[in-house]
Amino acid sequence: MIKFSSRALFNKPAALVLLTSEQSKAAKFSSSATKVSSAVNAALSSQRFEGGKGEVLPLLVGECLVVLFGLGKEKDLTLASLRVLLRRAFMFGYFRKAADIELVPHQDSADVIKAIIDAHALGTYAWKKYITRKKEDTTVENKTLHVVAAVKAEYADILKVAGCVNLARDLVNDNADLTTAEYLEKTVRGILKGKSGFKLEVLDRKKLQQKKFGLLLAVNKGAAKEPRVVIVQYNGGKKKDPYIAFVGKGLTFDSGGLNLKPSGSMETMREDMSGAAAVIGALKATFELKIKKNIIFAFGAAENAIDANSYKPGDVFVGYSGKTVEIGNTDAEGRLVLADVLSYVIDRYKPSRVVDLATLTGACVVGLGKDYAGLMSNDDELADAILASAQATDDRAWRLPMYPELKDMIKSKVADVKNTSNQRGCAGSMTAAEFLHGFVGKTPWAHLDIAGTAFVDGDSRMYFGHGATGYGVRLIVDLIKKS
């Protein structure tokens, strides 16, 4: 929980964190607690604390703990680096005995407060559902954070969005046998319960067969779990207003199919539904913020498993669009699911713009690393808007090119198109995007390859701990609000 107060009181909280840059170190600290003010100002005027990046000086004033935390030079301090530093501060074991924490920012600006909220709400998140051992809480995750700043309505919205980011993370982090396509449908129905101003369409296996979702059903052939396509038509704007559509890839687990993934590449493949999780998180945020726009939220959910019925390399399948696809590799399955869902959403709902999110290619991770999603688009205006929202929310993205020659790389001799490139190791992210491009027609469309950004397979990255990051929720919400 985060609360705001106009000045540092230091009466209820048991610990105080004072953020100090090298430039703000000379400023005089004021508090109603005289002993605290004296101790802090003495430390600030001494040579023992310079306010350097990550520098820490704990002070014990009576029974109260004060932690001076250095941010370094303000000219070098970005909002992203501030989030990273704050997460580190919030993870300190110093707060073991503290009931609440009071935090004094180095400046009371909206951007700084937003970074503090993100660092607390997102940075202290941890997936602990299956940990049975009791461990003493040494972080501020379950403590009230009192931020010394003027209260603004937008801060409450940021907290709501952060909660929806963490919902997406929960969905990705849980066991793949729990977070099935049917479970994702149930989650959406739970979000919609008691709400109005929407229409829900759910396509189960029977309906998918009737509507000829041949590509999605091919991917799911080897799975015992049922597939789903879930579409929510959110009617927050005027009837004449156009719709923007968001489509998520929802592979609840990806073994690679008969082109089986090797050890070291399969263990975290519950993350392959991160695009669908982001769409679900953004759906929840849209209702909570009561956004007055018309939006389509959609995802296709399936499992790429193996049995005697599994689809095979070399097979040809017909998608919803009527286009035939040769299977070059069964581990290039996400684009097949997306192709059917994109085709259907565009055909049935006629959105003015479409954005898809998918953990699609390892090639994107090789090209851009794990801090930037790859953005590919057939529309410059839409791409620019996404990049602006990526910059504003720190859901980072970098645009990659699309060009006519990419079509030649996915030609098939036996079908209309192939789901993999004919040139091994060449432009894997862009040929995957070009494959999707063939199913959107002239509709302005953008594809976000979030393979690197959606999951942390290690101790931490940026201000995220191990596991899902919820990438895309903040970006989608910002893009909706600004569109």
Is-contact 463 119, C-beta < 8 A?
yes
**CA 131-133-135 angle, 5° bins:** 100
Using DSSP's 3-state secondary structure scheme, residue 278 falls into helix
| Phi, psi dihedral angles at 298 (to 5 degrees) | -145, 150
Which of these is catalytic: 114, 221, 335, 353?
335
| Phi, psi dihedral angles at 247 (to 5 degrees) | -120, 125
* CA–CA gap between residue 446 and residue 443 (Å, rounded): 10
Which of these is catalytic: 261, 312, 348, 481?
261
* CA–CA gap between residue 470 and residue 245 (Å, rounded): 19
169 classed as catalytic: no
In angstroms, the Cα distances linking 138 to 94, 95, 125, 143 are 7, 6, 13, 10
* CA–CA gap between residue 449 and residue 434 (Å, rounded): 12
Nearest to 19 by CA among 101, 99, 96, 124: 101
Is-contact 321 439, C-beta < 8 A?
yes
* CA–CA gap between residue 422 and residue 418 (Å, rounded): 8
* Angle formed by the axes of helices 153-173 and 274-289, nearest 10°: 150
* CA–CA gap between residue 419 and residue 429 (Å, rounded): 12
The neighbouring-strand residues paired with 324 are 318
Length of the chain: 483
Number of Cβ within a 10 Å radius of residue 300: 35
Is-contact 31 118, C-beta < 8 A?
no
**Two tokens at 274?**
């991160």
Q: Which amino acid is at 319?
A: G
The neighbouring-strand residues paired with 179 are none
261 classed as catalytic: yes
Q: Active-site positions?
A: 261, 335
